[in-house]
Amino acid sequence: MLKPHMTIALPARPAEAHALEVARTLLVSQEDAAASLRVVCTTAGRGQAAFELAAALPSADVTAWFLDLFPQTAAIAAWESPPAGLRAVCAADIPSGPYDLAVIPLSKNGEAELSRDILQAAFQQLAIGGRLVAAIDNPRDNWLREQLAETGETVRVRPAADTVAYIVEKTRELTKVRDFSCEFVFRDRDRLLKGVTRPGVFAHRRIDPAARHLLNAVDVAADTRVVDIGCGSGCVAMGLAARDPSVHVHAFDAAARAVECTRRGAEMNSLANLSVAIECEGNVPDPGTYDLALANPPYYADFRIAELFVEAARRALAPGGTLLIVTKQPTWYVETLPNSWRDVAQETVKTYHLIEAVRE
């Protein structure tokens, strides 16, 4: 069994550790160890499997593929003295192969359609004879095994106490490839707009109700500068940009697929006044010049992400600019924003709360 030449300080989560262990057992020969293999790994944490394989295989080309810029940034920060053959890529799609090995750790609590999409893409990018190692943190799993069996290949099982891993060797190309993306139409006032989503994008296959409430709550004057923080599929940004070509909307998100979908939506609706960027630190072009900041922050992580959104809005807005947030959990905002914002107000719309505040 191959042994790593160096290790990353933060241990891998169980599914990723098991996938890594199984991947190492596949690379037992000196020929494999010395060969210029191409390997791609996803991660349940900070790219530990990719790091360890790159350390163990100095001649290999190992890609750690991330869908979100934030975990990619955290992984790079955790990689002390990374191996020369290791690279981190944040992209909407798996970087082009062909690969000799794909390592895909999954969570039993993950989004099923996104997992199917990633598994299919990884298998497609394998060379004939390449192997896919997938693991999940559910020792009684049947779901992942069924997904792998749909490739038509033999699925080998490697059980463990708290996880289970599978090995699939590619002997032929897929006969059926599913398109997981979705185009849809939504209305903003008197105009119908086209949107596009993919698995992993908030929200997939529809306009999110919170986005709808944001659109309904906003009126924009001519020449208004708007920033959409955490734009998701871009429905809010597209709706506002479509109302007046003199309005400039800048949207950003840390998720590569969200940025891709928003950019595609802008193109489909011919919205030249909508710019899009991938960003995880809240940076915008020309900070301190925007009139309106919009956000629909996630509810998890003890409002740490919400705090990042609010700080990003503060940096983006001009003095006197307005922040408008939609949420189902208003207490943190109502208690926190008055410390550094003025004119904080709250309005309830069905099960949502609109929080408005003005930059000092």
Which DSSP string do the residues of 293-319 spell out, in sequence order?
A: EEE---S-GGGHHHHHHHHHHHHHEEE
Half-sphere exposure of 145 (CA within 13 A, CB side): 16
String of DSSP letters for 215-247: HHH----TT-EEEEES-TT-HHHHHHHHH-TT-
Residue-wise pLDDT for 40-51, tens only, equals: 999 999 999 999
Residue-wise pLDDT for 155-176, tens only, equals: 999 999 999 999 999 999 999 9
Token pair listed for 19 = 């996938």
Nearest of 77, 127, 84 to residue 102 by alpha carbon = 127
pLDDT band at 1 (very low <50, low <70, confident <90, very high): very low
Token pair listed for 310 = 């609010």
Residue-wise pLDDT for 296-314, tens only, equals: 998 776 799 999 999 999 9
pLDDT at 247 over 50: yes
- Which pLDDT belongs to residue 5? 47
Contacts of 16 (CB under 8 A, 6+ apart): 43, 44, 45, 48, 49, 105, 135
Residue-wise pLDDT for 106-143, tens only, equals: 999 999 999 999 999 999 999 999 999 999 999 999 99
pLDDT at 78 over 50: yes
Domains of the chain: 14-169 (3.40.50.150), 182-359 (3.40.50.150)
Residue-wise pLDDT for 179-220, tens only, equals: 999 999 999 999 999 999 999 999 899 999 999 999 999 999
What are the b/e assignments for 150-176, b being 16+ CB within 10 Å? ebebebeebebeebbbbbbbbeeeeee
Residue-wise pLDDT for 321-354, tens only, equals: 999 999 999 999 999 999 999 999 999 999 999 9
- Which pLDDT belongs to residue 35? 65
Token pair listed for 354 = 């609109």
- Which pLDDT belongs to residue 331? 95
Q: Report yes or no: 311 and 283 within 8 Å, Cβ to Cβ.
A: no
Q: Is residue 333 within a helix (H) or strand (E), and if so which, with residue range?
A: helix 331-336
> CA torsion, points 257, 259, 265, 267, in degrees to nearest 10?
-120
Residue-wise pLDDT for 20-35, tens only, equals: 999 999 986 545 555 6
- Which pLDDT belongs to residue 197? 98
Sign of the Cα torsion 200, 202, 208, 212 reads negative
- Which pLDDT belongs to residue 10? 85
Three-state DSSP class for residue 169:
strand
Q: Report yes or no: 36 and 160 within 8 Å, Cβ to Cβ.
A: no
Nearest of 233, 212, 216, 211 to residue 295 by alpha carbon = 211
CA–CA separation, 323 vs 218, rounded Å?
Answer: 11
